[in-house]
Structure 1
Amino acid sequence: MSFNDTRLDARDTLNRKVTQLSSFESSMSPQVHLHLLPSTRCLFDEPIHAKVAGLGSGQVVTMRARATDERGVVFRSAAIYRADGGGELDLCRDAALCGTYEGVEPMGLLWSMRATVPHKYFHWSKALSPHVVRFSVHDGVDVEEEERGGALAEATNERVLMGEGVTREVVDLGKCSTVLFIPPGEGPFPGVLDLSTFMSEKRGSLLSNKGFVVLSVAVLYDKPANIKHLELDYFEKALRFLQQHPKVGSDGLGVIGRSKAGDIALSLASFLPGVRAVVWINACSANIGTPLHYRGRQILSPLTANLTKIMPTSDGASIFKFCTSDPDGEENRTSRIPVENASAHFLFLAAEDDLNYDCRTYMESMVARLRRAGNENVETVCYPRAGHLLEPPYGPHCHSSLHGYLRERVIWGGEPRAHVHAEVLAWKKVEEFLRSRLSCPHTNTKAKL
């Protein structure tokens, strides 16, 4: 469905409901209050509880949210609600009648925010700046256009990536700057190497809030066109830096990565000692995109792709899922990552509506190889109707955007409601897995606001 079609469908839904709603005659109190509980300031991955008081009995209102990302792109959402007999509205209890989402969705105004232009990803990756969202309440029904006139009430939510006491340090490992996050307390703490295809501090800072020392590293440390091969030596250097840090426990390290970063995480565990736990999210079982070298020689060739299998769609973005060659094909054996050689514990998270990778098939193949090799330390979770961009929860769901490596607009997949609920579950699972596999004594400290 195209961006314009989405807007038309929303307008049709609205028109069907307006007749039922517009008969209300306002008898609202002049003192309308919008409360964000427990506080207007919270960690990025924490839910908030929005409540409105002082409305008229049964009053129909439009709830809105608006934010601007790091690149200046505006995102917004809107939903229609009816107050109860006491003039109150509770987003944890009351159902949205229509808008960018429907039903009881306490965080719906956040995850359903859409860019005002199509094919935009919500960029918020720098840990020092809070993600600021403006919530507002407006009289009557109008979800299609930017609000006209003043709001009945407003509140601003600051969603912070770094909790109190977490420290951030830029570390130069030679290729590009990496960022180290250390939780409050004396430690020792579990150490985690957080790999992102392109540099992002979001996941690393949020994991540090939970009691992990995290080094966030970009896999593509230059423009893709300038990278002739990737060097596993660079990521080994990052691992050894973490391993030797005085606040990191000595029982092994964790590595987490999604997409291209996921296959680098697998390679670290397969070729190098010291990796105790791997979180693989919607990635491939083979080396994608560019040759992988170690100590001056190629250890994995790139998995080939057939770009004639790109599937264009009517909204100007394409599906790339079916372009990648079969990693288990004999012709691709030199690109297949030998996970059967790894001794680490693995957590594989696969979204079943991923339109970038056939990640469930890749996951099942790796599980079979690991078990044939005698490694039963494997956990798998599949998320129906979730898409490729499985991230820490409560950010805007991204349907399509520019692929940073291919430089093409692609559809990522995922039904929005199911996808964002999967993000909540996956994020909790990641923390539980890393904590259980990388446990250190006296590491119960977590960062709070």
Structure 2
Amino acid sequence: MWRGAASSTWAARLRRFGRVSPQDGGRRAVATVSVAPVAGLADEPAKIAVRGLAPSQQVTVRALVADGQGRLFDACAHYQADTQGEVDLSQDASQGGDYVGVEPMGLLWSLSPAAMEKPYRRLEPKQVNVPMKVDLSVHQGYSPPATLPGRVLARASMERWFTLPGVRKIRLKEGVVRGSLFLPPGNGIFPGVIDMFGDEGGLVEFRSSLLATHGFAALSLPYFNFDDLPQVIEDFHLEYFQEAARFLLRHPKVKGPGVGVVGTGKGAELACSMLTFLPEAVAAVSISGCSSITTSALHYGKLTLPGLCFNMNRIRISKGGVFDIYEALDDPKDPANSHCRIPIEKAEGHFLFVVGEDDRHWKSSLYAEIAIECLRQHGKDNFTLLSYPGAGHHINPAFSPVCPIVLDRVLRVPILSGGNSRAHAYAQEHSWGEILEFLHFHLR
């Protein structure tokens, strides 16, 4: 994250959002804003409180973050002080702004690109060994989002870390396998987890790094658009993922006999395929996945599962230029597409399906139902379903910024992801705890 002294240009930009302000006539504000802990893990709660206000005083509390490229993300909420002149975000309800109601971590999960920035970008850390610095400011009166705030009354900052002291990161180039391995601190051996994201490709490390803070040897595994891997999605060979699982199990810090797999979107589809076909995989977390192979064929030995096609004619574009691809994927329930289905009834391990019922990227809730119906028809109960009303597609670890519309990194167009912000934030917080518990239980 950006941590150096601001240039005059940066100072001007940040001044608008309350990080830098002119001298206030020599008079020091009596209000204070406190954060506990000042530095903590990104998936753990923090307590934010304001003191020293006038009784019933109306204020706007703002959060501001600059990402690694210097792009600004902000959020704000309106609060009224109690009779003691205090505001406690863990107990008091926001009256407006980017969220309403009692939301202790609302200033973090509602972060979105500031008004001066291009919309729909995601705030995701690129360097997990550097904290995300959040600047908090308290302003006089209620100021709506994307407007100039009132006079600054108090400031504080907090750091959100994606790693712990002692977590080791090892850049992996083992045979054909690429990625980053995160090892927890300590001398013990740890359960192994392979972590994959969706069809944007590349190496995404923040979830793997957090998994390591919770005691897992976590391998962040890219499968295209990274290093010497194919730059675009091609047919997939499950042997690549088997090689990654075998590497993990050979590592002296990883205990067997099997590994877990966590995947989102296309990564979830691959996670389910690994649990279905590979003896090395014993537990899979499928987040917003499909019950069939999509787009590109999957090969394993002499077996080939073709991918469901996206029909571009079924994509709708709103007046604002947002792409709605909800109906674009061919129907996996159509008998003509049965040869694309992942035969998960063959799996001996356990599945955790995590879906948002308002996923507008595709019909992940329906796909989970198809998978569960298949398992039940074969007399299996090796699954758990977490289905969240009002949640969208990108279900990330707790307190991650909610993204109802996401700028696709490949197509460079905004795509509707879905979800009500408050409901989606709850889904992220609840599911993250359930995912950690599921992995610890089945990998113990």
Deviations 1:189-218 (A, max 9, x none): 111111123321111111111111111111
SS in structure 1 of the partner of residue 394 of structure 2: coil
Residue identity matched to 2:153: L
Asked if 1 retains the 8 angstrom alpha-carbon contact of 2:131 and 2:162, the reply is yes
Contact 2:224 2:232 in 1 (8 A): no
- Matched with 1:432 is 437
Deviation at 1:123, TM superposition (A): 2.6
Deviates more, 1:365-374 or 1:141-150: 141-150
The alignment status of 1:154 with 2:152, answered yes or no, reads no
CA contact (8 A) 1:229 1:291 kept: yes
Shift of 1:372: 2.4
Pick aligned residue for 2:222 from 189, 211, 218: 218
Q: Hey, what's the Cα distance between the residues in 2 that align with 1:173 and 1:196? A: 20
Correspondent of 1:246 among 235, 247, 252: 252
CA distance in 1, matches of 2:407, 2:29: 46
Match for residue 41 of structure 1 among 34, 39, 42: 39
Q: Is the 8 A contact 1:328 1:336 kept in 2?
A: no
Verify the 8 A CA contact 1:224 1:405 in the aligned structure 2.
no
**Letter of the structure 1 residue corresponding to residue 44 of structure 2:** E
Q: In the superposition, relative to structure 1, how do residues 226 and 120 fare at CA in structure 2: closer, same or farther (>3 Å)?
A: closer
In 2: Cα distance, 1:323 partner to 1:144 partner? 34
Work out the CA distance in 1 between the residues paired with 2:431 and 2:233. Answer: 32
Give yes or no for the alignment of 1:231 onto 2:244.
no
- Match for residue 190 of structure 1? 191
Match of 1:261 among 267, 285, 309: 267
Contact kept, 8 Å, 1:41 with 1:160, in 2: the verdict is yes
Greater RCO structure (CA 8 Å; 6+ sep): 1
Partners of 1:380 and 1:315 lie apart in 2 by 35
User: What is residue 418 of structure 2 aligned with on the other side?
Assistant: 413
Could you tell me how far 1:226 is from its partner in structure 2?
A: 3.6
Q: Which residue of 1 aligns with 2:134?
A: 133
TM (normalized to structure 1)?
Answer: 0.87
Q: CA separation in 1, counterparts of 2:232 and 2:45?
A: 41
Deviation per residue, 1:277-327 (Å, 9 max, x gap) = 1100101011112122234x5622111122211122232212111111122
Provide Cα deviations, 1:47-75, integer angstroms capped at 9, x if missing partner: 11101111112211111001122343311
TM-score, normalising length: structure 2: 0.88
User: Secondary structure in 2 aligned to 1:155?
Assistant: strand
Two-structure CA RMSD over aligned residues (Å): 2.0
1:239-288 Cα distance to aligned partner (Å, 9 max, x none): 00111111211231100101000111111111211211110010101111
Task: Deviation per CA, 1:324-343: give whole Å up to 9, x if none.
Answer: 11223222233211111111
**Contact 2:189–2:253 at 8 Å: present in 1 too?**
yes
CA contact (8 A) 1:219 1:261 kept: no
Aligned partners of 1:53, 1:303: CA distance in 2, in Å?
A: 57
| 1:113 pairs with one of 111, 114, 124 | 111
What is the percent sequence identity of the aligned residues?
A: 37
Q: Is the alpha carbon distance of 1:406 and 1:230 closer, same or farther for their aligned partners in structure 2, counting shifts above 3 Å? A: farther
Native 8 Å contact 2:29 2:154 kept in 1:
no
Find the aligned partners of 1:323 and 1:429 in 2 and give their Cα distance: 31
Q: 1:225 and 1:309, CA in 2 relative to 1: closer, same or farther beyond 3 A?
A: farther
Equivalent in 359, 364, 371 of residue 359 of structure 1: 364
Query: 1:85 corresponds to which residue?
Result: 83
Q: Say yes or no: does 1:168 pair with 2:164.
A: no
1:57 aligns with 2:55: yes
Identify if the C-alpha distance between structure 1 residues 52 and 226 changes in structure 2 by more than 3 Å, giving closer, same or farther. Answer: closer
C-alpha distance in 2, partners of 1:80/1:426?
Answer: 28
Partner Cα distance (1:174, 1:274) in 2: 18
Number of paired residues?
410
Conservation of the 8 A alpha-carbon contact between 2:172 and 2:180: yes
Query: Where do 5+ consecutive residues of structure 2 fail to align?
Result: 1-26
**Taking structure 1 as reference, are residues 68 and 330 closer, same or farther at Cα in structure 2, changes over 3 Å only?**
same
